[in-house]
Structures are given as structure tokens and as C-alpha cells.
Structure 1
Amino acid sequence: MHDVFEGAHHDALAVDTIALQHDCHAMIAHLGEVEPATPIPEMTPMPVLVLGDLHLDQWLEQGSDPFGGQGVAFWTGLDALIIAGDLCDKPKVRWPTMLAHVGRYVSLDRAHVFPDNHDFYHHVLDGEARLEDLSTHYAQKRQIVTGDTRFLCCTLWTDFAAGGDVSGAMAEARQWMNYYRFIRMQGAKYRKIRPEDTREVHRDHRAWLESALATPFAGRTVVVTHHGPVPGVADGKTLGLEPTYTSDLTALIDRYQPDAWLFGHTHTHTHAGHDAAGTDPDRQRLAGLFGSCRGCGRAGQYPRRLAS
């Protein structure tokens, strides 16, 4: 995931300083014969763990367990686990197995999950009722409250407007993104989905999110999405397809100023944001918040990291 925090709130959000200061050491697991330069420290339990881009099926198929790097105390110390998109492909077949594996570490009574593109592969975009039936706590367009912090969760998708050429971005997405080959629409005779379909879902999720942000809450607000809320998060690794990875929601952030926004999808580890205040040349700032990427990625791409 990418995490966007206000520095003064690190302790309040129970962020593990080891994970932030020693990124490579904050791994859940590492692959094959690759060993870290120094031992991976046991992490202090955090109240809430947010993981995106888990691709758990790919890890298990390669004989690796991304959860195995932490002891029992870590997992039992969590108030909640939020899996924020891309748990696995083929959800009707694999979600039960993948969630059962998660349940070996974290009680599914404390596990919340919402989908992204991979969770719709070989399924239908308008078939979320089935996904909800497969999960104990389905987090799509839901508020999760733990302590004095609420987590507002949704996939988000994108509006394709981040680059200023919506039609061009949608054409590029349809040509190059696997979403539009592997996901179908049940309500449209099972045709392959189109960028217009995911844009409509984005509009729905954005409307829900704005309504939730506008609802008063006596505590901290953390937004959790799969797609990004600001341009510039792809770090040049999406081959000109950034509008399929992120939208420009800086106006919404400026208006409601959530305490944090966690997101993923790009599988990159980069700083991101928009320097609204123009006062911090070292870390890009977004409505008073700074961003730091903590991407998970697929098995074999790079070591899995914790995001908090």
C-alpha cells in the first residue's frame, strides 16, 4: 500500500517506527534464497494492519507464505486486518481458500476485505454480492471503527482524467489493461467490461466516499482505497497508463482533510503527493499530509512489506 500520514499523528495511528525507518526490515516474508542484509526484527503489534496487492494465491502457489515472517503475538495483537484489494484471482473459487489461510493468523472476525481488479478476474464487475457472501466482513463502501479512528474503505477505481485526456486514457486502458479482458458484466450479457464501466463504479465510490467524509466523526479519519487519490504515484512504472492507476482527488482532500489516505495498486515504493502548501521541499505534501509508498506486489516481484 501507499501510506499518507500526518507526521504528528504517527503515534496516534500506532505506526511501527521500525517499519517506517527500516523499510527493508519490515517484511512479512522474503523469497527463495534471497536473505536480508541484517536480521528482520520482530515487529511490535499494531492495532490495525492494512495490506493491499497481496496476491496471496501467487505466493502460495510458489510455496511461500507471506504471513509467516511474524510471530503469534503480532497477529493476535491486531484490532483489525484490512485487505485492500487484490487478495487473489478467480474469487468464486479461491477467496474461500485464501481467507481460510488468512484465518490461520488473524481471526476472520477481525479481518475485513474489499476487492480490486484481480478479485474480479474470471468473475463479473457487477457481482459483488457473491464476494460479500464469501467474506465475514466485506468492507466495500464501509466504515470500520477501531478506537477513535474510522477507516473509510472502497476500491475507488479511476475517472481517467488525471492526464487531462479522458478519451485517450480510456482507449489506452482498454488496449493494455487486463481488466478489460478478464472481467465481465453480468448485466450486459456477460460482455467484457469497458473503461466506461469502471469509470461509473469510480463515480459511485467517490460519491459514497465524499458523503462519508462529510459525515462528522469525533476522531481520526483514514481513507483506504486500492487506486490512488493523487497524480504522480506511479513513479514512471506504468508505461503511460497512470490515469488507470490514480485520479486527482486533491480538491476532495483539501476540503475534508482526512488524517491519512492509504492506497496501492502500483506495486511501487515511492514518495507521492501534491505540494499544496509549498513548504516542504524534502517530502511532497498533500493538504498537510505527506505520502510514502509501501507497495506489496506479487510473489517474486520483491519482498513483501507491512503497511500500517
Structure 2
Amino acid sequence: MRARLGDNGANIRQNPAIPQVFTCESESIPTFDADAIVLAGDIGNGAAGIDWARETFRGPVLYLAGNHEYYEGEFEAVQEAMEAAARKLAVELLDCSEIVLDGVRFLGCTLWTDYSLAPQKERPAVIESARKLNPDYQLIRYGSRAFAPEDAIALCARHRAWLAAALAAPFTGKTVVITHFAPHPLSIAPAFVGHRANPGFVVDLGEAMGSAALWIHGHTHTFFDYRAGGTRVICNPRGYPDEATGFRPDLIVEI
């Protein structure tokens, strides 16, 4: 299968994968022939990214929400709007769900974070710092109140449990996992190693590595391509305008 990854996404075709990520305001999008497009979140606020993806790409589009999709909105309302847009536009919205295309299984969830990357003694302070400084907790509404770290932790527990069960289910073909939040500490940019904010971006799913041929993630604004436990992990973000992320529009990966 062949995949192309974009602003936190990928585009997939039988027997290679081209990581490349685009924003809703991206300049010109190159044309290509692929079996599927994978977009791993932070494409646009609300359902705008789904609309853009269908206008921009031909063929199957696999889309999952990042944290930015929920900005300036109420969590459940945004979820419902994305689901409605996905149904209308024939986009596959992955939310703790899976799809099999051409014999390849795609498992997708946002993942969120449980701050477990922080040492136990430091975790309460790290969470309180995130509560004050992370825009997620100012820009996302959760019912009648602000989204909180405790909500992210609860969502992460649910997503981790679903992913563990899905990976354990028998499947004879290859598996690709798509999460928005990073699944391994190797997805921390050198400039941020040891930074107190890292637990808000990365969840260590090292125990799950080896269960998938490829793991695509977003969230971080640095290009990554490494192997962990036999799984190839790729993040190929377009990032913000004029941001140097290491974005590689022509990267091809064999799955």
C-alpha cells in the first residue's frame, strides 16, 4: 500500500506510503494517485478540515481529530459536526474505530494524553502547569465548562484501552495505527528533551510497538521517521506558515 503523509496526515496506495501534511490554508497541493489519504488531525477547526479534505483529495480519505479541531467549540458539538460532515462527504472519520482497505487495517484514535510521561512525583505539578498554560484548556469547551486535564486523562484511558484491544484482535494483513498525539518519547524534538511540557504531547506506548507495520501521528511540529519495537513511526507535519518543521512532501514509505 502507498501512503502520502501531510500536515499531520498521510496518503496511501498499494505498496508505498508518502507522508505529507497540509493545512486548510495550504498553498498548492500536488496531484497524486493514491489508494487512501490519511490526515492525522489539526487540519482545521471543527469540520472545516473534513470539508477541505474532500475538496482537495480524490479517493478514500481517513481523518481523525486533533486537539485543534475542538478549538473555539464545545467538544460534543464539534464531534457531532465532524461526524455529520464525514457522512455527507464520504470521509472516514476515525474515532476509536478501524477500516480495512486493500487488505491493510487502519486503526485510528486521537489518543489525547494522560501525562504518564511525567515522573509520578512531578505529575501533579506538570498537570497544574498544563492547566494554566496549555491552550486546550482555554479554547475547548466541555459542556458548560472549560475542557480540563482530567478530561484529557479520561479520554486517553478510553482511547488506550480501545487501541490495546484492537491491536490484540487477530488480523492476517498489515496494520497501520493513526493517532494525533505522539506515541513514543522518540517523537520529542532534541530541543525539547527534558521539557516539562512533553507529557502533554507524548504518551509512551512502547508496549504497543511491534503490533503495527506503521504508526502515523501528528501534534508535534517536527519531522520524525524512526523505528521502535519493529514499528516504523512517522510524523511529517506541515506546521504553521513559515515554520521550519522538516516537512518532506515527497517522502515515500514501503508498508
Q: Same fold (TM over 0.5)?
A: yes
Q: SS of 1:240's equivalent?
A: coil
What value does the CA root-mean-square deviation take over the aligned residues? 2.8
1:261 and 2:215 correspond: yes
CA offset digits 1:24-48 (Å, max 9, x no partner): xxx99xxxxxxxxxxxxxxx98446
Residue ranges of structure 1 left out of the alignment (5+ in a row):
1-12, 20-26, 29-43, 273-284
Give the paired residue count: 236
Q: Tell me what 1:124 maps to.
A: 74
Q: Tell me what 2:63 maps to.
A: 113
Q: SS of 1:126's equivalent?
A: helix
Match of 1:143 among 98, 105, 129: 98
Q: TM-score if structure 1 supplies the norm length? A: 0.68
Change (3 A) 1:271 1:221: closer
Q: Tell me what 2:135 maps to.
A: 178
Residue ranges of structure 2 left out of the alignment (5+ in a row):
none
Q: SS of 2:81's equivalent?
A: helix
Bigger Cα Rg:
1
Paired letter, 1:55: T
Q: Tell me what 2:207 maps to.
A: 251
Q: Provide the rounded CA distance (Å) in 1 between the counterparts of 2:225 and 2:52.
A: 32
Contact conserved, 2:209 with 2:230, CA < 8 A, in 1?
no
Contact conserved, 1:151 with 1:222, CA < 8 A, in 2?
yes
Q: TM-score if structure 2 supplies the norm length? A: 0.81
Contact conserved, 1:86 with 1:118, CA < 8 A, in 2?
yes
Question: 1:71-110 alignment to 2 at 5 Å?
Answer: 71=31, 74=32, 77-89=33-45, 91=46, 95=48, 98-107=49-58, 110=60
Paired letter, 2:248: R
Please report how far the alpha carbon of residue 126 of structure 1 lies from its aligned counterpart in structure 2 after TM superposition: 3.1
Q: Tell me what 2:188 maps to.
A: 234
Paired letter, 1:263: H
Change (3 A) 1:139 1:290: closer
Identity %: 26
Contact conserved, 2:75 with 2:140, CA < 8 A, in 1?
yes
Q: Provide the rounded CA distance (Å) in 2 between the counterparts of 1:166 and 1:99.
A: 35
Contact conserved, 2:13 with 2:36, CA < 8 A, in 1?
no
Q: Provide the rounded CA distance (Å) in 2 between the counterparts of 1:204 and 1:110.
A: 27
- Greater fraction of residues in strand: 2
Please report how far the alpha carbon of residue 51 of structure 1 lies from its aligned counterpart in structure 2 after TM superposition: 5.2
